[in-house]
Amino acid sequence: MEHRYGGRVVLILVVLLIGLIGIFPPQRLFNPELPWSRKINLKPGIDIAGGTSLLYEIDVPPGEVASGELVQNVATALKKRVDPRGVLNLVWRPQPPNRLEIQMPLSGDPAKARQVREAFAAAREELESTNIRLSQVDAALSADPATRDKTLESLAAGVPARRALFRQLLEQTERLRAARKSGDIAAQADAEDAIARIRREIDQTNIPIAQIQSQLELLEAAVEKAERDGGEKAAAPRRQELERRLAQIRQQYGDSPSRAAAVENFIAAFRAFNQLKGMPGDAEDLKRLLRGSGVLEFHILVTDLDSPQAREMIERLEKQGPAPRPGDVMRWYEVDNPEEFKGHAVRTFADKQWVLAWTTPEKSMVHTKDSRPWGLRRAYKGYGPSGMPVVEFEFDEQGAALFGQLTRAHINQPLAIMLDDKVISAPNINTAIEGGRGYIEGGGGGFSEQELRYLVSTLSAGSLPAKLSEEPVSERTVGPQLGHDNLMAGFWSCVAGLLVTAFFMIGYYYFSGVVATFAVVMNMVMILGIMALFNATLTLPGIAGIILTVGMAVDANVLIFERLREEQLRGLSIRMALRNAYDRAWSAILDSNVTTAITSIVLYWLGSEEVKGFGLTLLIGILSSMFTALFVTKTVFIIAIEKFNVRKLGSLPLTFPQWDQMLRPHIDWMGKAWIFIACSAVLTFAGLAAYFAKGREMYDIEFVSGTAVQFELKEKMPIDQVRKLLEFNDPTHPLRSVQVVAVGTGADAGTEYEIITPNDNTPQVRKAVLDALEPYLKIEVPAEFEGSQLPFERALDQVVLPVKDSTFFVPGLAGDRYAPVEAAGHIGGVAVVLRNLDPPLSANEIRARLNRARLQPDRVAQPYHRFEVVSPLKSDQPSRLVVLFSSDEGISYFRDEVRWRQELAAELWSLVVDAVSKPPALQKVTSFSPQVAQATMLWAVTALLVAFVGIMIYMWLRFGNFKYGSAAIIALLHDSAITVGAIGLSHYLAYTWLGDALLIEPFRMNLTLVAAVLTVMGYSVNDTIVIFDRIRENRGKFGHVSRQIINDSVNQTLSRTLLTGGTTMVTLLVMYIWGGAGIHAFTFALLGGIVVGTYSSIAIAAPILLIGGKAPEAARSRPAAGQLQSIGG
């Protein structure tokens, strides 16, 4: 009877196509601009892509209860603060009841990103160099005529209008001198007016870089949004407007070849940089971003838009965009949600709505570095006197005083409420708000529910429901190079494992092996496709899970093929043999996969991100392997039989009968049970003794708290020398009780190491490592200088100084005086003196660091102030004395000292400390506080217990006898104990000739190794179930379990046990040797555990079934099942 296999083929092709589309989405696959690495739609975890994971503890406020809802509210508020549009690719993972994990995968190529940032900084500096300061012109006018003319020509920079203005300025200056000399007051006044006008015109010849950058950013954002929402047709008008603005900029500032080239370079560099703008670069960037976001401010709106100042601002918005200039007393602010912002005059630029507000101290309430901090305690829905819904809010004590002062002075004026420089509401001040509590009404019609939710949630983003701990309780960072190395090692070991499996299956099972290989490949496509479609994270343990799934898929196929071989040996036709093989293998395949699924669910339910990735991959792999083994391969065989008239499915044992005889031995396994039990007892005792003898050293910091730091050296160094450099006898030293482990393999051997210390103070450990290994590390070294640890208030007038005249000088390092001539161009500005720099740095190096720091996410939107870096030595020579100058025509020390201090001096000091003294990013940093370590240990114990109980219950129900479940659990305890013991023995074998030959390191128990133990449990039960299933089948003939039945069942399934165990072990061995440091310990535990699990299925689990059974049979033994025997005497 023919099968209808058309529907089966269609289903297989559809599933395969869906998997391929998930992995290679058409929009990526056919995009010629994307490299192949970005055409694949898989989200890598931070252990592959590199990145940072920060785990914060939430300080629950009084009266609140730690709960999942509270953590979710904090996550929502933070997300709205830090990444409202979701462009930073941050992952927010609430961990009830009081923890929040924030993950930041690295985006793109970090080296390329750094090049783009540096190119933009250089282009901006080049464009700024074409601008001039009036202080530079004044200094030139006071020089002798020859020097004056030369300097003015240099300042003109080839700009014709500037040359003409310099000539006019010289004429009017001479006229002023003459008028003063003659005492002609009228001529003197005319000359002063003319000089003031010319100076304004000279200033206007400068390129407003901030305004150009703002225009480009906003207009490009408008193009992208229109293209995203409405396609190319909607984006076309915005793109035309962008090109029109660019043409205006080129025409207006292309009046000299040098300026024209600088403008073009700046535009090109900014467009590349704009794709990266705001992206955090490392853990410190992310921490700063979390601390610096959610800034709540209040400003009185400008209501008289017909005033000269307002008209000038409106004209500037239309021509140059909304970017502020130094000296402005009002500023344009973006309206966050135009649909909810009604009743106020707004202007449009680049598809955004803008409103004008005052920025003077008496008309605003802002945060400054030299004032007491204030904040909003909470915002919530309430009801006003009329019963209408309102938004109620409450300030802290300092905020209440400032808000009362602001509202008293501006009754009946609109107050703009701003979060991170965006206006979220502008209610009218009806009365002075005293005591720090007030409410916002929604006008005559009141707030709609949507308006109310928007305002409450946005205000809450400026007032977290509960605060995060100052520092994360756990920090884990993987550098980009380490992540790339992990990915490559994992990928090639995956390929190698697949090839080894394919060669074996084809060589052993011929055509059936080809079918099985196709099924395995399809299995991998399904796993990756499902993960891609559901945006699941691919981690290193996840890659190991894929490899393990390959072994399990082979396992299912081997079960079927071995049954098929037995059926063909009985002389059945190929059709009947195939049907019987699938039918009889079904129960063993189902049972073994269900028990492995139990451990997968436990891992996904309770695990960390990497462990969840492994559990999810394994679970998907179980389902897909069952589909491919039971449905896909059967379909292919049906087609081969019916379409191509295949009459026999050969294999190596059928071709060589001697091999077949070897696979059906007559071993009395139960007679050797006591030998096995003795060997197991010795191994278990020795391993566990070794494990517990090491105490704390056996556990990774995930379980006992502490910090681990991985670093790369410039040159190879023996581990003994690294240990010597890190040995400190002081029990209070940050690196006390430090362990050093070599993690590099291959070309990296001897250059990559990891240290582990029980000290969980991450900054302290990082600094101690840098101090001890600084000359040898492959990093950018931080530098200390006099006053580098001082807050700004104390640094002021010590190392942060006003530039009062051109004779500015600082004491030299040798008792002399250093008077940099560059001070003349920064009169009224600020100088920061870096004295006794350790290690010395060149002016060029400090300039590069400052430029990189200015492009950090929390600084990229700050106003650009040009700076100069000088030292007594040449600019490329390291110096212990360096001076930085910065100035801005709109922020002068002489005109407004308070503003100079807040907007110029404080900002430069913060930038210098961050750029010069910031600790560098090491390859990998992991830390766990004691409370996190305790919770992790509890998770591990819980996971093991849940898995044990789940497997035992399933085995009990499936086999109808508690003895089967008990036997399986005892075998699992045996396997787990020996696997853990092997991890303990690794500490004694590491760094010996045997350990080096076996690639053994001093492995430490962590979450990933717990996942390995759980996987060993699942796989071991897999083997055990196959034997138990055959025992159950054979028992049906005799009604009870006997010694002979167990021997027969073990012998009959031995070929399957060796074949599946062997293929899985070979693939794991490939991963162990070439899989890289990221999964080395994981594969060690899996490899050892699966060897032991295969052994225990025969030697431990099966004999337990005899306990409490009938007495042994007579010495006469029954022939193995499937053999001919005589009847009668």
Give pLDDT tens digits for 240-274: 988 998 898 888 888 888 888 999 999 999 888 88
The number of C-alpha atoms within 13 Å of 908 and in the hemisphere containing its C-beta is 30
Encode pLDDT of 1067-1123 as tens digits: 788 878 877 666 788 889 988 988 998 888 888 888 888 876 554 444 344 444 444
Q: Which residue has the higher pLDDT, 34 or 221?
A: 221
Is the preceding peptide bond at 839 cis, omega within 30 degrees of 0?
yes
Encode pLDDT of 889-925 as tens digits: 778 888 888 889 888 898 899 889 988 887 666 666 6
According to DSSP, the residues that pair with 57 across neighbouring strands are 99
Residue 989 to residue 620: CA distance in whole angstroms: 37
Q: Judge whether 425 and 419 are in contact, CB under 8 Å.
A: no
Which pLDDT score is estimated for 312? 92
Which pLDDT score is estimated for 1123? 41
Residue 163 to residue 871: CA distance in whole angstroms: 32
Q: May I ask the CATH class of domain 706-782+923-928?
A: alpha beta
Encode pLDDT of 670-726 as tens digits: 888 889 889 999 999 998 998 888 887 788 777 777 787 878 888 888 888 888 888
Residue 700 class from Cβ within 10 Å (0-12 exposed, 13-18 middle, 19+ buried)?
buried
Percent of the chain scoring above 90 in pLDDT: 14
- Rounded mean pLDDT of 961-971? 82
- Mean pLDDT check: name the lowest of 71-75, 157-161, 786-790, 870-874: 71-75
pLDDT bucket at 466, cuts 50 / 70 / 90: low
Which pLDDT score is estimated for 825? 82
- Which amino acid, residue 654? L
Residue 947 to residue 945: CA distance in whole angstroms: 5
Which residues, other chains included, contact 33 with Cβ-Cβ below 8 Å and sequence gap of 6+?
none
- For strands 99-105 and 330-335, give the pairing: unpaired
Cα 89 to Cα 113, 234, 535, 1025: the distances in Å are: 15, 26, 13, 44
Is the preceding peptide bond at 97 cis, omega within 30 degrees of 0?
yes
Q: Is the pLDDT of residue 470 over 70?
A: no
Mean pLDDT, the chain, rounded, equals 81
Nearest in space to 377 (alpha carbons), one of 310, 454, 460 = 460
Which pLDDT score is estimated for 919? 63
Which pLDDT score is estimated for 463? 57
Which pLDDT score is estimated for 985? 92
Q: Is the pLDDT of residue 830 over 90?
A: yes
List, as own/partner pairs, every contact residues 890-897 make where C-beta atoms lie below 8 angstroms and the sequence separation is at least 24, other chains included.
890/325, 890/326, 890/327, 890/328, 891/326, 891/327, 891/865, 892/828, 892/829, 893/802, 893/803, 893/804, 893/828, 893/829, 893/830, 894/828, 895/828
Encode pLDDT of 730-783 as tens digits: 777 788 777 777 765 555 567 778 887 877 777 788 888 888 887 888 777 788
Residue 57 to residue 59: CA distance in whole angstroms: 7
Q: Which residue has the higher pLDDT, 808 or 928?
A: 808
- Rounded mean pLDDT of 442-448? 64
Q: Judge whether 822 and 810 are in contact, CB under 8 Å.
A: no
Helix (H, G, I), strand (E, B) or coil at 924: strand
Encode pLDDT of 562-619 as tens digits: 888 888 888 888 889 999 999 988 887 887 788 788 878 887 776 666 667 777 888 8
Q: Which helix (H) or strand (E) holds 3?
A: none
pLDDT bucket at 370, cuts 50 / 70 / 90: low
